[in-house]
Structure 1
Amino acid sequence: MMINDFKKRFYIVLVLTVPVMLLSEMIQHWLKIHFSFPGSQYVLLLLSSIIFFYGGWPFLKGWWEEIKNRAPGMMTLIGFAITVAYGYSVATIFGLQGMDFFWELATLILIMLLGHWIEMKSIAGASRELELLVQLMPDDAHLVHGEQVMDVKTATLKENDVILIKPGEKVAADGLIASGESYVNESLLTGESKPVEKKKGDKVIAGSINGNGAIRVTVLHGVKDSYLSQVIRLVQDAQQSKSRTQLLADTAARWLTLIAIVAGLVTFFIWYLSGSTLAFAIERMVTVIVICCPHALGLAIPLVVAKSTSLSARNGLLIKNRTAFENSRKITTLVFDKTGTLTIGKFEVSKIVVLLNELTETDLLRYAAALEQNSEHPIATGILQKAKASSVPVPLAENFTAITGKGVEAIVEGRLVKVVSPGYLKETNISIPGSFRPAADETVVFVLLDDRLAGYISLADTIRPESAEAIQTLRENGIRSVLLTGDNRQVAESVSKQLGMDSFFAEVLPHEKLQKIKELQDKGEFVAMTGDGVNDAPALAQANIGIAVGSGSDIAAETAGIVLVNSNPKDIVNLILFGKATYRKMIQNLAWATGYNIFALPLAAGVLYKAGILLSPAAGAVLMSVSTVVVAINASLLKVKQ
């Protein structure tokens, strides 16, 4: 492991540096001692050579790789600096006039090894959240085979296998509960802080932690296709992808490398040609090159990326497009879908009105339920739950067809049945009875029997308790909130007013949502759109930032740059605030990584030499290493606010 390698090299070089410093003429002069023996200069050469070739090997190897790839960078600068220092010092041993600086070489390599060791530990810390995600998947599973239960490797599980999850154990695979009940902790996967009640037929996610009840789970797919595996792949891809900010940092690092080499050479020639010794001129050049190393600059963005991407994944915020995530700071308008996002999404039937004398409420409910059993829409769920609660038998529906954005139709018991929205009645010129007076918070679907209006069913959906707080937080951050829904105007207006939203669009069909997003963009708004990633795909693609919500079971929403596991509106707000915080960290790191050079470079070059202020190569290495550690610590302070 690279961290252990740098650690080992650091301690060996540390031990060797002590005698190198004791044998150094400069150190002896400073300490006012004299210590030498026959051949001591060759012992100094031997120890320094070990330090150079063994301790400096990672930098020399990196230098060669950068030259081979025609991409000079940090390793080029360090490799060049220590080679010049070593070459000059060796020459002094064999007759060149001047004083060696083997001790500077030793301390320079020592500090660079320490800096890299600390930096790698910081990088590992920034990616710790991803490692925790990986560790969530248990190695073994209890496979149920008839009456027997045997332990098998999780990787061998396949679709339709039945596994036993004992109390307190991690769920080994995505699946449906075949028997048993329990509370399952999914906080590390979805950000949902409270354990979720699970019973027969409910879905469980691999990596979640079972509560006090034993459950048997029917496996839905192998480990590589599990939700957790998809999240890990998504995080890895996002961490490796480069946004515009990263490309900017890479460009700046390349320029800083060139500046370091040019500044080092200019420093050398100015001091040497002005009469200074060769040793002094080389020392200034080495110090300038080391202090200008773009190491902190090269890490400024990747460290924040590693931290933010893995941390957000553990909070149910999945980043597919890093540029979209960083651009969340620009959002001026956030467009919300209503059902399941601002509202709980669980519709309950509040009223059934029959308009044909030949039918009863049970008949109307039976026909509607027959059509809705083919749908997973919250309204359909509400109607089916009402039918089940009323013990109404649901007949089969044949030739089922969706009427895009307006409803569904099918043949039930030989009759053409349609369940449609108010918009469909307007388009087909079917008159709504004058007694029709829905409440402001009710959603109504009409039932047509052989193209005659048979009645309507009213359903109500409750606003999420977190919605008002989320909208308020947006307002405090200067972001407008807009409701975009296919529901009727009264419902949309009621929800919008209750939550204090800025505006709303009602009775909007899926293909019209894109147009509404365009209208906002034409007004100069930077628009983020939230949707389910399926019906809202065109609008998500059109928006400046597409956020797919409530897609925990399908994180591959192609049109969205960001996927939220839960539909909680607070998660959407947290995402935007986290995006802003991440961008601030990036700018802070870039400012520090480049800014300290403004003061350090002139000092390294010897501008204040006459005032008695001079940085040694070792001091330059300390400053460079400290700047890297500051960048790493700053990145590690990034947090998702809840």
Structure 2
Amino acid sequence: MAEEPLPGSPRAERPSSLEKTGERLRDRVEHARPLGAAHDDPRKQGHQGHGAHHAHGGHKGHEGHDKHAGHSAHMFRNRFWLSLALTLPILYFDMHFQEWFGYTAVQFPGVGWVQPVLSVILYFYGGWPFLEGALRELRARQPGMMTLIALAISVAFFYSLVVTFGVIEGMPLYWELATLILIMVLGHWIEMASVEGASRALEHLASLVPVSAHKLVGNRTEEVSVDALRAGDRILIRPGEQVPADGVVMDGASSVNEAFLTGESRPVPKEQGAEVVAGAVNGEGALTVEVKRTGDQTTLSQIQRLVAEAQASRSRFQNLADRAAGWLTYIAVGAGTLTFLAWLLLGFDLNFAITRTVTVLVMACPHALGLAIPLVIVNATAMSAKNGILVRNREAFERARDLKIVAFDKTGTLTEGKFGVRSVYTGGVAEEEALTLAAALEGRSEHPLGKAIVEEADARTLGVPDVRDFEVVAGKGVAGTVDGTRYRIGRPEWVNEGGLSLPPELQRGLDEAEGRGESVIAMMDEGRVLALFALADKVRGSAKEAVKRLKEAGVQPVMITGDAEAVAKTVAQELGIARYHARVLPENKARIVRELKQGGPTAFVGDGINDAPALLEADLGVAIGAGTNVAIESADLVLIEDDPLDVVRALRLSKATYSKMIQNLFWATGYNAVALPLAAGVAYAWGILLSPAVGAVFMSASTVIVAVNAVLLRRTRLA
């Protein structure tokens, strides 16, 4: 069964809206910069933390440089295990470890070279990602975690080699070099493994277009590659098939599912002259379409372009660990330089000054700093999963803590994306009898509106009679014979086309239903209209409670939908949402989110492909788990249970997580307030001088505190 809006009804402008969508998308792309342009000018790059979309070369940590270009969780995993294999013998042969644990290492000729040789391999293999990252940060003039790590391991490495070759006296720091590299590689492995895969959004978009099409050549069809289609070609789209290219219907009538583009769950009627877009799914009738746009010119490709642009240009928070590391880098270099000059000016020898400086520089990069954030993220992610929330971007916890606005897509998010019977208007028959007849006719239909009627009859446990001579009338509805009487059920326009008219009571019902933006189906026999069924998308059971709790938390709920004003107003009033935007075209959702962000940090919750740019534009993107893969891959958080209340739980968890991040960074770096001055020798006059070994105890204690504090996050109650 197919359905079309009545002239002048809230849905009557649907085809022109689609054409307008395609035109605006194409116009935007024609005037947009190339996909790579976002990377060309460092001044235009926003901050991006570890949750970056790796489809664009990795991870934008700062303006103008790509912090994790070419990096992956798999790479860090491999480097961790080999680094561990190199670290164990370095620790085994270290004099400090032998002294602390009371053992004597195996002795053999050349044993003294085991640590230096393994350290050289470890420095260049395990430490290479940090050395590369430091160069990028320094070129961008924004030192962060990579610079601090590279500084610490380089100082420890070269100092140890100089001592080993007897250039200066001292104790080599091979064990500190090894453990520092090992823990930092582990931290980055944990971190990247928790967020990798966000680049799949574009892959899912590409998968929507079929690989072949049925091209009409004369009186026959020929299966050709979609890439071979050209403007002007005519193609046949059979029932159930996806549209391979944008075009105009030349022959046939059907209903087409365009939810991927519009977000609206109702199929859109198509007949001669109507536009169809690539990726849409054809319904019950065959369509002959003349191709108008192919390849990069299709509307779907424009959405791909919008998603790619949003991924490339989306502003990012510079993550907390990087900010702390940046400051520690400046402090370490400044303190190290001051230490070196001070001891020389005080008349101490060069060896003493160098030793003090090296100790300061190495102590400035605590092992705990590399694990402070990843350990919290791992625990937060585990908690999220138990509560039906999948974390795709670790920055979500930093960005969600102070949200002021949460914008919801309507269809599939606040509503279920499936129709339900809201009202039944009858003329001359009982309501249950009308439902019984309608369910009998729609029982063999695949149309979602028809299914809603069948489900309503099932819910009322009504007995449904058999239907004979069932017939699908493309573009109109279905017909069949029940108990010897011929009935038709379909779009209201079919009433006039059949020479019938609506009685006054049904006309009032039609006006009332359309005033609420509901879809209407008419049922009639050969001589009169028997009933009208008003159907609407079902509001999710928990949506109203979620809106209420957001308001209580001081967060403003906003609804954004491509549906008509009447539909949007009805749903907004039912949920208690004061601010809403109706008739929003796909490419304008991101623009509205951008405008909302001027009022404070904004989250967007959606489920459709058309929501992907808005999910990326928002400070926090939340996807409904039952939505499209593209929406899920573009989001920071995914609500597995499709429950809007999980948005509230996610906000609570984000606040608790951010608090733990701050606490861990304090413990991971706070000891420097004591350790660095002692390492520099400020208490030397009182016989207190912090050696690297004692500094290691401080670092170990800091690491333990950070780990325990991260585990305590699990005590947070989200319900």
State the TM-score, normalizing by the size of structure 2.
Answer: 0.52
Residues 281-308 of structure 1, C-alpha deviations (whole Å, 9 max, x = no match): 2321121111112654455445545555
Of the three residues 352, 373, 385, the one matched with 1:280 is 352
User: Using the alignment, how far apart are the partners of 1:584 and 1:79 within structure 2?
Assistant: 33
Residue 641 of structure 2 corresponds to residue 577 of structure 1: no
Residues 150-209 of structure 1, C-alpha deviations (whole Å, 9 max, x = no match): xxxxxxxxxxxxxxxxxxxxxxxxxxxxxxxxxxxxxxxxxxxxxxxxxxxxxxxxxxxx
Where in structure 1 are there 5+ consecutive unaligned residues?
Answer: 28-42, 132-240, 401-408, 421-427
Of the three residues 550, 557, 561, the one matched with 1:474 is 550
Alignment of 1:132-143 (within 5 A): none
Alignment of 1:519-598 (within 5 A): 521=596, 524=599, 526-533=601-608, 545-551=620-626, 554=629, 556-557=631-632, 560-598=635-673
Instruction: Specify the alignment match of 2:210 in structure 1.
Output: none
User: Using the alignment, how far apart are the partners of 1:472 and 1:368 within structure 2?
Assistant: 41
Residue 152 of structure 2 corresponds to residue 77 of structure 1: yes
Alignment of 1:218-617 (within 5 A): 244-246=316-318, 249-250=321-322, 253=325, 256-257=328-329, 259-261=331-333, 263-293=335-365, 296-305=368-377, 308=380, 312=384, 315-320=387-392, 326-336=398-408, 352-355=424-427, 361=434, 365=438, 369=442, 373-375=446-448, 379=452, 382-383=455-456, 385=458, 389-393=462-466, 395-400=470-475, 409-410=476-477, 412=479, 417-418=490-491, 445-448=519-522, 455-457=531-533, 470-471=546-547, 473-481=549-557, 492=571, 495-496=574-575, 501=576, 503=578, 508-509=582-583, 511=585, 514=589, 521=596, 524=599, 526-533=601-608, 545-551=620-626, 554=629, 556-557=631-632, 560-617=635-692
Residues 332/129 of structure 1: CA separation in 2 closer, same or farther (3 Å cut): closer
User: Using the alignment, how far apart are the partners of 2:490 and 2:184 within structure 1?
Assistant: 67
Query: Does the 8 Å contact 1:344/1:463 carry over to 2?
Result: yes
What amino acid does structure 1 have at the position aligned with 2:691?
Answer: S
What amino acid does structure 2 have at the position aligned with 1:58?
Answer: L
Where in structure 2 are there 5+ consecutive unaligned residues?
Answer: 1-77, 101-106, 136-146, 197-312, 481-486, 494-501
Local SS of the residue matching 1:566:
coil
User: Using the alignment, how far apart are the partners of 2:640 and 2:425 within structure 1?
Assistant: 37
User: Using the alignment, how far apart are the partners of 2:694 and 2:175 within structure 1?
Assistant: 12
User: Using the alignment, how far apart are the partners of 2:620 and 2:91 within structure 1?
Assistant: 52
What amino acid does structure 1 have at the position aligned with 2:357?
Answer: M
Residues 324/121 of structure 1: CA separation in 2 closer, same or farther (3 Å cut): closer
Residues 607/368 of structure 1: CA separation in 2 closer, same or farther (3 Å cut): farther
Residue 170 of structure 2 corresponds to residue 101 of structure 1: yes
User: Using the alignment, how far apart are the partners of 2:444 and 2:585 within structure 1?
Assistant: 23
Instruction: Specify the alignment match of 2:209 in structure 1.
Output: none
Query: Does the 8 Å contact 2:414/2:543 carry over to 1?
Result: yes
Local SS of the residue matching 1:91:
coil
Give the RMSD, CA atoms, in angstroms.
5.6
Residues 535/363 of structure 1: CA separation in 2 closer, same or farther (3 Å cut): farther
Residues 64/543 of structure 1: CA separation in 2 closer, same or farther (3 Å cut): closer
User: Using the alignment, how far apart are the partners of 2:191 and 2:590 within structure 1?
Assistant: 41
Query: Does the 8 Å contact 1:345/1:378 carry over to 2?
Result: no
Local SS of the residue matching 2:474:
strand
Query: Does the 8 Å contact 2:597/2:618 carry over to 1?
Result: no
Instruction: Specify the alignment match of 1:618 in structure 2.
Output: 693
Residues 124/528 of structure 1: CA separation in 2 closer, same or farther (3 Å cut): closer
Query: Does the 8 Å contact 1:387/1:393 carry over to 2?
Result: no
Residues 431/263 of structure 1: CA separation in 2 closer, same or farther (3 Å cut): farther
Query: Does the 8 Å contact 1:300/1:632 carry over to 2?
Result: yes
Residues 68/461 of structure 1: CA separation in 2 closer, same or farther (3 Å cut): closer
Residues 281-339 of structure 1, C-alpha deviations (whole Å, 9 max, x = no match): 23211211111126544554455455555764565434455556643223223345677
Identity %: 34
Shift of 1:481: 3.8
Local SS of the residue matching 1:329:
coil
What amino acid does structure 1 have at the position aligned with 2:159?
Answer: V
Residue 184 of structure 2 corresponds to residue 110 of structure 1: no
User: Using the alignment, how far apart are the partners of 1:89 and 1:331 within structure 2?
Assistant: 55
User: Using the alignment, how far apart are the partners of 1:315 and 1:128 within structure 2?
Assistant: 20
User: Using the alignment, how far apart are the partners of 2:690 and 2:479 within structure 1?
Assistant: 88
State the TM-score, normalizing by the size of structure 1.
Answer: 0.57
Instruction: Specify the alignment match of 1:154 in structure 2.
Output: none
Shift of 1:447: 2.8
Shift of 1:624: 3.8
- Mean Cα displacement is larger for which, 465-474 or 580-589? 465-474
Query: Does the 8 Å contact 1:511/1:538 carry over to 2?
Result: no
What amino acid does structure 1 have at the position aligned with 2:425?
Answer: V
What amino acid does structure 2 have at the position aligned with 1:478?
Answer: G
User: Using the alignment, how far apart are the partners of 1:519 and 1:260 within structure 2?
Assistant: 39
Residues 417/65 of structure 1: CA separation in 2 closer, same or farther (3 Å cut): closer
- Mean Cα displacement is larger for which, 458-467 or 390-399? 458-467
Residues 54/415 of structure 1: CA separation in 2 closer, same or farther (3 Å cut): closer
Local SS of the residue matching 2:554:
coil
Local SS of the residue matching 1:528:
strand
User: Using the alignment, how far apart are the partners of 1:370 and 1:582 within structure 2?
Assistant: 50
- Between the two proteins, the alignment pairs up a number of residues equal to 482
Instruction: Specify the alignment match of 1:183 in structure 2.
Output: none
Local SS of the residue matching 1:330:
coil
Shift of 1:582: 3.4
Residues 631/453 of structure 1: CA separation in 2 closer, same or farther (3 Å cut): farther
Shift of 1:460: 9.6
What amino acid does structure 2 have at the position aligned with 1:623?
Answer: F
Query: Does the 8 Å contact 1:548/1:563 carry over to 2?
Result: yes
What amino acid does structure 2 have at the position aligned with 1:281?
Answer: A
User: Using the alignment, how far apart are the partners of 2:192 and 2:638 within structure 1?
Assistant: 20
User: Using the alignment, how far apart are the partners of 2:124 and 2:568 within structure 1?
Assistant: 70
Query: Does the 8 Å contact 2:660/2:709 carry over to 1?
Result: yes
Residues 15-61 of structure 1, C-alpha deviations (whole Å, 9 max, x = no match): 54459988xxxx9xxxxxxxxxxxxxxx9997654434445752365
Instruction: Specify the alignment match of 2:306 in structure 1.
Output: none
